Amino acid sequence: MYRIVSHEAKRWVRQDKGSLPDAYAKAIASHAWDFMESMQEQATAVGSATADLWLAGKLRDQHAEIEDNLIVAACMRIKADYLVTNDESLLRHAPVAAVTPAKMVQLLGVMP
The predicted-structure confidence for 45-81, as pLDDT tens digits, reads as follows 777 778 888 888 888 888 778 888 888 888 888 888 8
Domain for residue 96, yes or no?
no
Spell out the residues 6+ positions from residue 70 whose beta carbon is closer than 8 angstroms to its own: 48, 52, 53, 56
Whole-angstrom distance, CA of residue 53 vs CA of residue 2: 28
Query: What is the value of pTM for the model shown?
Result: 0.56
Number of separate helices (H) and strands (E) present in the chain: 6, 2
Domain for residue 100, yes or no?
no
Domain count, the chain: 1
Beta bridge partners of 8: none
Give the pLDDT score at 64: 76
Domain for residue 24, yes or no?
yes
Residues 7-31 pLDDT 10s: 889 999 999 999 999 999 999 999 9
Per the structure, the complete domain to which residue 26 belongs is given by: 1-42
The answer to whether 83 and 98 are in contact (CB under 8 A) is: yes
